[in-house]
Structure 1
Amino acid sequence: MRLAVYNVENLFDRAKAMNLETWDEGRPILEAFAELAGLLGAVTYTPADRQRMVVLFERLGLEKSDTGPFVILRRNRGGLVRRPRAGGIEITADGRADWIGSLELRDEPINEHAIRNTARVIRDLQADVLGVVEAENRPALAAFNDEILPVVQGDPFRHVMLIDGNDERGIDVGLMTGAGFPIGLMRSHVDDRLANGATVFSRDCPEFYIATPNGNRLVVLLNHLKSKGYGGTAASNARRRAQAERVAAIYRDLAAAGETYVAVMGDMNDVPGSDPLQPLIAGTGLTDVFAHPAFDDGGYPGTYGLCNAANKIDYILLSPDLYGRVRNTGVHRTGMWPGSRPRRWDSYPEVRKPRDAASDHAALWVDLDI
């Protein structure tokens, strides 16, 4: 059987701030959004909070309207902000209980060429079990499977499952499997908590139990750990390490319960030697398929962007018994932008510019004799 994982970077719609030409363009917007959302969630707004909110409202283009170029403020009931005719912004609420609503990122459709190139990658992977990272929701994933894959002569998967996670931007993790690999038990960890009461996972770490045609059982833990993108380096590192510790604990519980075929995979947003990932990579007995003698890295050690060593952030980690069943494994970059002068790898003819790329991430795959 072939097991694969792929960060598709959304299928149909994506936050506009995440859909700009470069990450550096979107980063300040996402940082301001995260900071303002945090302030708005406080029980009590201090004078300093209000002053900072005004700065962030202006930074996000909300000084004249609740609809900015990248963000929407939805106010269903109660008062939060006033915009006098003379200009300026006033925060009128004393705390979160004074108003009902939300701060949301605005979406825009994905480039049509990018959608089809994503389908081409999935078609060419020919996976029996595919973990998908950054899918909007189950209806979007199912629609992509039923409507877009056939357009590029791909075979739709028989089973499609996604459990909504904690990320309000619509970047969840899901699973697609073939007819001979039904999904049985599913367990979400969306509500796992840290000691301070905060949720552990930025998205989720769902457990999927999959039956194989030979009567074996494969357990897949899908992950998309905390990004380095915004929120502060120290804070994001600490959050990512806490997530890695929790994933490691879930895996150890599975191993203790007698589950021998376990795969932990997804976008871990860090390199193998990083401190945040050590509880998972060095402390469990799980082994990265990159370490297998059969692994073909296609000439580059990374999985993201230009695929340098500093961009090795996607993983398939296997339990000892499963690692012993590896027959072949590699990386698929054909849907990625190959750079220019020189091009780093062959890409689909339809990838004519960076916005046409299926994703900034490579897909990983492994053939297992189970």
Structure 2
Amino acid sequence: MNIQNLFHRDLSFLRQNASKNLQDWMEEFQTLLKNPDKQHQELGRMRELAFLMGFSPQATEPFLTLRRKGGHLYVKPLGGERQTRATERVGWNGWVELRSYPLDEKHRKAKVECIAKADPDILVLQEVEDRASLSDFNRDYLGPKLDGSFEQWLFSEGNDNRGLGHAILTRNGYRIVGFQPHAHERDREGKDLFEMDCPEYTVVTPTGDELTIISARFQQDGKDLDFSGKRKEQAQKVRTYCDRLLMQEKKGIVVCGTLGEVSYGDCLRPLLGDKTLRDLPDHLRHETVNGNRQNKLSNNEPIGGWLAKHDYLLSSVPLHTGIQQCGVHFPSVLREREGGKCFFSGRSRRGVSALMPPLLWADFKF
């Protein structure tokens, strides 16, 4: 599941929605702030910019005033009386840039409910901000909902400058016994191939079977940028990982994550072209639920409506043929059905869409 941060999100996401003027003011303020030899005119301009950016307790801009008192730093909202910035009497009083902002509790609750309904033994997460947040999320949020937190968990940070990384959590006798990062891979231009990483986990089941999970997050398109070529290069590299595992006679292979492209896109052909890896919708075309043929999604939408998805749970043929049931859950959108499990609902053509990336789940029989 692409969790899109647990507690705090990098300000770069927020700045994408800021106005052009606000972005220019913030960039100018940062440039002046980094100058160690500020002149009177530059300090005056910084005060003007501080006013234009509207420093206040409700503001989402990345600057606050800090004051030192009794050996501690205190946040003081701007907009009040003018104060001396630095003297022997008041100590240091200045600006500091905040790199993240807190997420609303309702977003976190929706993600927790989504995970609790799937009730997984193995949980793979993407875009986790740090190890401490993962630990708190597991203990304080997942633990109470799942009658106990995950017993083993691993966080790995890759190439992302915001610190975002991948995580895997296991419980009920499933053990993490191997981990191989691929953050060092380079593309044809010598740059990082993967924006974060593409970690490879080895998990042993309670019965002793071995499962290899590759958590893949491919390059996403920008506003005016098309990265389909980069995604195809990433898909080709992941396919080499799968071919290596198949040569080693590893039968339990899973590739999951946000691949940034529809299933019929050319850039995913290395993974989906020859059916070596199977996706969940393929399985739903011939799955039976309560003795009835399940040729449609649970909200009576045709399965073709799910083709616009960018999130995948691919599995090798031996695993795919052993799927007992599978589905997807969109946080804050779906209702509880089928005994708490949420089967594929897709994106409705009537305008119902997900607020956050979905969680894909599958019950495999080894």
| Same fold per superposition (TM over 0.5) | yes
Structure 2 distance, partners of 1:228, 1:278, is 18
| Alignment pair present for 1:64 and 2:33 | no
Cα distance in 1 for partners of 2:36, 2:184 equals 29
Question: 2: CA distance between counterparts of 1:279 and 1:252?
Answer: 11
3-state SS of the aligned residue for 2:211? strand
Aligned to 1:37: none
Provide the secondary structure at the position in 2 that maps to 1:163. strand
Cα distance, 1:171 vs structure 2: 2.9
The 3 A distance-change label for structure 1 pair 131 and 262 is same
Q: Tell me what 1:147 maps to.
A: 140
Name the structure 2 match of 1:251: 242
- Native 8 Å contact 2:151 2:169 kept in 1: yes
Query: Which string of whole-angstrom CA distances, capped at 9 and with x for unpartnered residues, describes residues 155-201 of structure 1?
Result: 31111112101112233221111141110110000101123211111
Residue 323 (structure 2) pairs with residue 326 (structure 1)? yes
Query: 1:266-277 alignment to 2 at 5 Å?
Result: 266-277=257-268
> Which residue is equivalent to 1:316?
313
**Total equivalences in the alignment:** 292
Q: Which amino acid aligns with 2:128?
A: A
Matched, 1:10 2:42: no
C-alpha deviation, 1:109, in angstroms: 0.6
Q: Work out which of the residue numbers 343, 360, 367 in structure 1 matches 2:363.
A: 367
Of 189, 192, 198, the match for 2:185:
192
Q: How far is the alpha carbon of 1:262 from its aligned partner?
A: 0.2
Please give the residue correspondences for 1:38-49 in structure 2 after superposition, counting only pairs within 5 Å: none
Structural mapping, 1:230-249, within 5 Å: 230=223, 232-234=224-226, 236-249=227-240
Given the alignment, which residue of 193, 201, 204 partners 1:211?
204
Identical-pair percentage: 25
Structure 1 residues 44-193: aligned runs within 5 Å: 59=24, 61-66=26-31, 84=42, 106-152=99-145, 154-193=147-186
Partner SS, residue 313 of structure 2? strand
Report the Cα distance in structure 2 between the residues aligned to 1:137 and 1:251, rounded to whole angstroms: 28
**Which protein is bigger by CA-based radius of gyration?**
2
How much does 1:62 deviate? 1.7
Q: Is the 8 A contact 1:261 1:319 kept in 2?
A: yes
1:291 and 1:146 map into 2 onto residues whose CA distance is: 36
Counterpart contact for 2:263–2:308, Cα < 8 Å: no
1:26-59 CA deviation, whole Å, 9 max, x = no partner?
5466xx9xxxxxxxxxxxxxxxxxxxxxx99963
Uncovered stretches (5+) of structure 1, i.e. residues with no partner = 1-5, 20-25, 33-54, 68-72, 89-103, 339-344, 349-356
State the 1:253 CA deviation. 0.9
Deviation at 1:255, TM superposition (A): 0.8
Alpha-carbon distance in 2 for matches of 1:120, 1:319: 29
Residues 9-18 or 217-226, more deviating: 9-18
Aligned counterparts of 1:162 and 1:273: Cα–Cα separation in 2: 32
Bigger relative contact order, structure 1 or 2 (CA pairs below 8 A, ≥6 apart): 1
Distance 2:188 2:157 in 1: 23
Q: Structure 1 309/179 Cα, relative in aligned 2: closer, same or farther at 3 Å?
A: closer
Q: What is the CA RMSD across the aligned residues, in angstroms?
A: 3.6
- C-alpha contact (below 8 Å) 2:183/2:192 kept by paired residues: yes
d(CA) in 2 for partners of 1:182, 1:175: 11
- Would the alpha carbon gap of residues 244 and 59 (structure 1) be closer, same or farther in structure 2, given more than 3 Å must change? farther
Unaligned runs of 5+ in 2: 47-96, 288-293, 338-352
Alpha-carbon distance in structure 1 between the residues aligned to 2:275 and 2:98: 37
- Paired AA for residue 369 in structure 1: K
What is the alpha-carbon distance in structure 1 between the residues aligned to residue 238 and residue 4 of structure 2? 22
Corresponding residue for residue 298 of structure 1? 298
Distance 1:181 1:153, change over 3 A: closer
Corresponding position of 1:22: none
* CA-to-aligned-CA distance 1:81-109 (integer Å, 9 cap, x gap): xx857969xxxxxxxxxxxxxxx983101
Given that 2:326 and 2:361 are in contact with CA atoms closer than 8 Å, whether structure 1 keeps it comes out as yes
- Separation (CA, whole Å) in 2 of partners of 1:275 and 1:66: 43
Distance in 2, Cα, partners of 1:196 & 1:324: 39
- The alpha-carbon deviation at position 258 of structure 1 amounts to 1.3
User: Cα distance, 1:300 vs. partner?
Assistant: 7.8
Amino acid at match of 2:359: A
Q: For residue 346 of structure 1, what is the aligned residue in structure 2?
A: 335
Q: CA deviation at 1:302?
A: 11
CA drift of 1:291 comes to 0.6
TM score, norm. by length of structure 1: 0.69
